[in-house]
Structure 1
Amino acid sequence: MQLDNAVVLVTGANRGIGAAFVEELKQRGAAKIYAASRRASYVDLDGVEPIQLDVTDPARIQEVAAQASDVQVLINNAGISTGTSLVSGDVAEIRREMDTNFFGPLLLTRAFAPILKANGGGAIVNIVSALSWFTAPGAGAYAASKTAAWSLTDSARLELASQGTHVVGVHMGLVDTDMAAAMEAPKISPTALAAAALDAVESGLDEVLADDWAKFVKSGLTLGPSERYAQLFSPASS
């Protein structure tokens, strides 16, 4: 679908990737952009409609869906990373990541699916991660939540195909945002990522591998665990 004159809702729109989506949508001529964030007052962008939304609040998601019944494109961007280990980390933090990175997009997809159908089908964009296919010490909770988000993306694509809703999964390594500020490694810009995702919406592409890291990680999915994690994994001696 073309984004010119489209109505779009972006979660986590107050900074980073979300703010880049808003700017890119403006450049592409979107008619209305709902810029959703936990504190709508933090959104300070011309030409958009700020809307308060905590994606971990099911009741608020339903209220937003009722308020934004003209949406044609849903961009599930809001996410967190706590650096929590699955085996030894705080279970409350693990649940917080799952609530934000998986259940948030799930509940938004469920709330907006009938709206998208009524408005002609439209599209859903899920910002996933290359860590949906790979994990590392300290990234267990994040990777698990993003793996679940990847499965959600594929399932939603199959379930919503009959109503004409195009579902796009976006995978990438590090993005130059506050979340990755302390990491010294190549990073894709938020603007480049948003542009690649919106190009996929307009071209009909189902999956975006936005950088070399995403392409590299996906290429290793046919390998066994000991090969994929050769630099990280040393089995204990028997």
Structure 2
Amino acid sequence: MELKDSVAVVTGANRGLGRHLAEQLLQRGAKVYAAARRPETVDLPGAVPLQLDVTDAESIRSAAGIASDATLLVNNAGISTSTPLIAGDLDAVSREMETNFFGPLAVTRAFAPVLERNGGGSVLNVLSVLSWLHPAGLGSYAAAKAAAWAMTGAAREELAPRGITVSALHVAYMDTDMAAAVPAEQKTDPAEVAAQALLGIEAGLTEILADDTTRYVKQSLAATPNAA
């Protein structure tokens, strides 16, 4: 996909990776709707602030109506509550699934007709190495990202006849608020991840693996899990 003169909607664009994606899209000559639950927190010059709460159906419908010229959707908004699946609070598990799985699904369903009307386009789902690696302490996040990976593959097949490509970005720890407690040497620069993501969209990649940890885990998927 050619990013120059594209029209992008980036969810969670007020900080972290989303802000870097929006900023670099602007630098590449795209029009950018910087979507956030609180659009007043968007401080990116040149971007169009857009109110969008991925857990609110009316907010999603309204955003799709406003950004009716979109050709690229970046599903970046997400949360992590560090909740285990068995011992953790079930409301927290549900909140992660609502935000990290049902949210991107609902936004994609709303914007697919928009992209199609505009001649086709692309969707990028920001996922995680935890789509494939499932530590107990992050069970709810991993389960939601694994579900989002499955959704990405199914949506790719369903939307292809409508001229819409669907890609997944997988990454381990980034230097963002979500990973504030992680040592710096274990984190990737989100600006570099954003650059890789946009290059992947331009190249038409279905999966973009942004760091060595993610590439290693992906290559290890065929291995037999260790016995308890």
TM-score range with shorter-chain normalisation? over 0.9
Once the two structures are TM-superposed, the CA of residue 137 in structure 1 deviates from its matched residue by 2.5
- For the pair 1:189 / 2:181, whether they are aligned, the reply is no
Q: Deviations over 1:91-138 (max 9, x none)?
A: 100010001100010001100111111111100000000000011131
What is residue 105 of structure 2 aligned with on the other side? 106
Q: Quick one: distance in 2 between partners of 1:165 and 1:125?
A: 11
**Matched-pair identity in %:** 53
Once the two structures are TM-superposed, the CA of residue 201 in structure 1 deviates from its matched residue by 1.1
Structure 2: any 5+ residue segments left out of the alignment?
none
Q: Quick one: distance in 2 between partners of 1:190 and 1:150?
A: 20
TM-score, normalising length: structure 2: 0.97
What is residue 221 of structure 2 aligned with on the other side? 221
What is residue 28 of structure 1 aligned with on the other side? 28
Q: Deviations over 1:129-167 (max 9, x none)?
A: 000001113100000000011011101110011111111
- For the pair 1:74 / 2:68, whether they are aligned, the reply is no
- For the pair 1:212 / 2:202, whether they are aligned, the reply is no
What is residue 122 of structure 2 aligned with on the other side? 123
What is residue 230 of structure 1 aligned with on the other side? none
TM-score, normalising length: structure 1: 0.93
What is residue 92 of structure 2 aligned with on the other side? 93
What is residue 167 of structure 1 aligned with on the other side? 166
Aligned length: 227
Q: Which has the larger radius of gyration?
A: 1
Could you tell me which amino acid in structure 2 is paired with residue 84 of structure 1? T
What is residue 61 of structure 1 aligned with on the other side? 60
Q: Deviations over 1:13-50 (max 9, x none)?
A: 000001001111011111x2100011000001100110
Structure 1: any 5+ residue segments left out of the alignment?
227-232
Q: Quick one: distance in 2 between partners of 1:18 and 1:117?
A: 24
Stretches of 4+ aligned residues off by more than 6 angstroms: none
Q: Quick one: distance in 1 between partners of 2:102 and 2:58?
A: 13
